[in-house]
Amino acid sequence: MDVLLDIAEPGESRDPHEMRPEDQRRVVGIDLGTTYSLVASVDREGKPRCIPDSQGRYSLPSVVYCQEKGGEAVFDIGYDARSAVADRPEDTIVSVKRFMGRGLEDIQKDNVTSPYHLHGAEGGMIRIEAAGRQISPVEISAEILRVLKDRAEEVLGGALFGAVITVPAYFDDAQRQATKDAGRLAGLNVMRLVNEPTAAALAYGLEEAREGMYAVYDLGGGTFDISILKLTQGVFQVMSTGGNSSLGGDDFDDSLSAYLLQEMGPVKQDAEMMQRIRQISRNAKEALTDADSVDVEVPRANGERFKKTITRELFDGLIKKLVRATGVPCRRALKDAGIVPTDLQGVVLVGGSTRVPAVRQFVADLFKHEPLCDLDPDQVVALGAAHQADLLAGNNRSDLLLLDVTPLSLGIETMGGLVEKIVPRNSPIPTARAQEFTTFKDGQSAMAIHVLQGERETVDECRSLARFELRGIPAMTAGAARIRVSFQVDTDGLLTVAAQEQTTGLAQSIEVKPSYGLSDGEIEQMLRDAMEHGASDIEERMLREARVEAERVLAALGAALKDDGHLLSESEKRKMKKDMRVLFDLSQAEDTQAINQGVSDLDKATGFFAQRRMDRSIQQAMAGKKLEDFG
């Protein structure tokens, strides 16, 4: 017999919106990392936990070894692939995350050293040659995600409903799209992309804490990121982000390696020796997390062994400048958020390099708070992603709303090669913003929409994202048309741009999927350039705007002379053309004030011509009519 009614004691009835454990959807959070990747889920007690493999290991090395067997590509992933790095480096792909959403020109420009043969391909994104074939970074990432998916399904006992995948806060549109495509290729329903700092904050349950501001300090092996987050009435908003893509724990290892080489004296620094010293330095760094000193031994070529005791004090001195360098983006992020350290409620540590005692002490001194570090910094991002996946799947009731931000401003090109910003940097997403523009020339029937990303004032200093055209604009005088350009950035940070002519409803839109995106370094450089060149950029913008206005005035006067030159005497025409020539010459110079004065002088000198044209138009309108006809 079916159960029709569930009777319970007063106060013990189930919330009608609460799912039974057996009804909950299987969802996971995935940290797709540069060096290691992890997958996590929320258990029946509501606690997020990382999912281990059959040998009890939580992390999966982000390494893929490509082979060809029977004409088919075969992949070894993770620990199985890592052993092939030394023997088959060209077929063993590591750190593929740095290639996601990027083009061959980007890799070459950044002088990224790589054992791989890289190729440009249709659509712009690079291909990596391995095992006699060209493979995209999306395909490689999909193989890593597929292993994590299979692991989760085996442990959770069935097919997954969906997944949340984390991305660096500075990932741009192309890199986010590439990550999402990799998830789909792996057979995952990607419910959301979440920024890594936001996921880390979620892992600490900050949504349950009292309202306030939190900093997320993320120091990994190769990069550093800082984010300021704010919780207000269930809205969890990223206020600002910053970082340094060329600073991380690997630099700590290099500092200790350089010290050891100096102490050893003359030594053959071949690749094998350098790799050995780097590994010894990494082991010493990790040991000094808990120990006050550690003894290291480096074998020499002659069979002898160099021995040295490394104290924590010595190591702290070697990395002091590197640790202090993380303070620059931290202070900038605080300034962007409009707060001081004492306004924070807490600081979350993320990344294995935050285990270094000197780092933790620096963070405590900088932010005036003892950092939150009771969760494994390597697992915290995956745990937070699992928490968000559980919320999105409806397994857990919460009024929490996540609002991440755009890392750089988005806008379009206007006359004179200027950039009009429509979505400012650090705008909360999802967002929709629009602005109206108009035509520059009489009878203009099309408008080119050039979408840009960056903080500078001119097109050549920003990154081009996409181009499209709005055609079929009705013929009108310059400035009469009204074209509304709309930007929409969704919860994953992906952009759609639309343009519509308001009088006719004519519209055109594009989902911005650039073939490759910005590196973290490029984003940081854009921000630094915007700060360093702020005053000169404003001067350059004012100069270009003055030139555009001069061009507009000259074009309008030229058209007026062509149509109504008969209203002027020959001497008046000569004088007007001479005045126009003066303004044209001024517009070629670099003096903004002189150009503006020239425009003003020409307006005054030609005012009588404008008056005659107006009088003529009124006479034509009144011809054959009586005064009472206008009453």
Active site residue ranges: 31, 97, 196, 218
Eight-class DSSP state of 55: T
Q: Left if phi > 0, otherwise alpha if psi is -120 to 50, otherwise beta: which for 131? A: left
State how far the alpha carbon of 298 is from the alpha carbons of 302, 310, 318, 326, in Å.
12, 13, 19, 31
- To 10 degrees, the CA torsion angle through 555, 559, 562, 566? -110
Strands 224-232 and 212-219: antiparallel
Cβ atoms of residues 410 and 453 within 8 Å: yes
Cα–Cα distance, 308 to 300 (Å, whole number): 13
Pair of tokens at residue 284: 């010493």
d(Cα 500, Cα 569) in Å, to the nearest integer?
44
Do residues 23 and 394 touch, judged by C-beta distance below 8 A? no
Tokens 């006699």 identify what position? 132
**Partner residues linked to 372 by β-bridges:** 348
Cα end-to-end span (Å), the chain: 87
Is residue 42 within 8 A of residue 31, CB to CB? The reply is no
What is the Cβ-side half-sphere exposure of residue 188, based on CA atoms within 13 angstroms? Answer: 34
113: phi then psi, degrees, rounded to nearest 5: -80, 135
- H or E segment to which residue 507 belongs: strand 507-511
Q: What totals of helices (H) and strands (E) does the chain contain, helices first?
A: 16, 28
> For the residues of 241-285, what is the DSSP string, one character each?
EEEETT-SHHHHHHHHHHHHHHHH-S----HHHHHHHHHHHHHHH
Distance of CA 94 to the CA centre of its chain: 22
Q: How far apart, in whole angstroms, are the C-alpha atoms of residue 24 and residue 39?
A: 18
Q: Which of 318, 316, 206, 210 is nearest to 260 (CA)?
A: 318
Q: Look up residue 340 and give its DSSP letter.
A: -
* Of 460, 599, 454, nearest in space to 528 by CA: 454
d(CA 579, CA 601) in angstroms, rounded, equals: 9
